[in-house]
Chains A and B, each alone.
Chain A
């Protein structure tokens, strides 16, 4: 069988289970035009209204953090988790509201960092961990 035929056969075969799985999800909200929102998302205005209670966490890579970040933000990303977490914990206390952000609305590094923080800091602290809607892009637009 030629390469093209093999290729087409594989492409076609993959449709069968994919259609089956999609039918299983047919009544789900996943087909909506926007991705489902995270209940722990917080708007910039709301986060700023918390004032000094907020501990900003920048989940972006080093180079982006160096180029600019929210004043007072502490860097925490998966690349250097252990080192950066120690630094973050020196500034953190359970009553502070932690707001994690990454570059923009559609990035998900902030969600991953927030999820990991919730696991590592425990259930009580998890209630005070949020993800900034719009991320750094939103903050930059508002303040520049």
Chain B
């Protein structure tokens, strides 16, 4: 009687600190990936447009416009993830972008087109399609994990039972 019994559905302060650090760390990792991916494409929009056209899903006029826009979006989302500003919005956007990219990759591969994803400029040329998928799924898993972590209730004061 009178013993404080924290409920398991809310986080204890120690858990809160731990998860904040994990979130921070994963946010920086995911953000850095997007900053790099966006930055490398910004330097060569023509190459990125060629990579987009490779998927054979959009005409060149759309591909070239996407090639000018998407790298900036990736860069901004990456910065938002690293600096934890507009964090939820950046998470939602990057999850959406990754999902669209993965679906497009699988569809294109199923159509027999040997795509080079163009995700990380010339570096990604050394990776096989399978490795691209594995890495993209890992990144997507991190982003989805962060999203659900964000949606959990924050640290609550200990609630006494009885």
Q: How many residues of B contact A (CB 8 A)?
A: 41
B133 on interface, CB distance cutoff 8 Å: no
Residue of B nearest to A36 (CB): B46
A10 CA / B88 CA spacing, docked (Å)? 11
Q: Within 8 Å CB of A11, what residues of B?
A: 73, 93
CB of B150, distance to nearest CB on chain A (Å) = 9
Interface of B is mostly: helix
Indicate whether A31 reaches chain B with its CB closer than 8 angstroms: yes
A18 contacts B69, C-beta separation under 8 Å: yes
Query: What interface size band does chain A fall in?
Result: 35 or more
Asked whether, in the complex, the Cβ of A14 is within 8 Å of the Cβ of B88, the reply is: no
Q: B-facing mask of A28-49, CB < 8 A → 1, else 0?
A: 0011111110000000000000
A113 and chain B: residue at smallest CB distance: B125
Give bound CA distance, A1 to B93, whole Å: 15
Q: Is the CB of A34 within 8 A of B115?
A: no
| Residue B86 lies at the interface, judged by CB distance under 8 Å to chain A | yes
| With A14-B72, A30-B45, A31-B64 already in contact, 13 other A-B pairs whose C-beta atoms are closer than 8 Å | A6-B88, A6-B90, A9-B86, A10-B76, A14-B75, A35-B53, A60-B114, A61-B128, A78-B125, A104-B113, A106-B56, A108-B54, A109-B114
- Which residues of B does A touch, CB under 8 Å? 42, 45-46, 49-51, 53-54, 56, 59-61, 63-65, 68-69, 72-73, 75-77, 80, 86-90, 92-93, 112-116, 122, 125-129
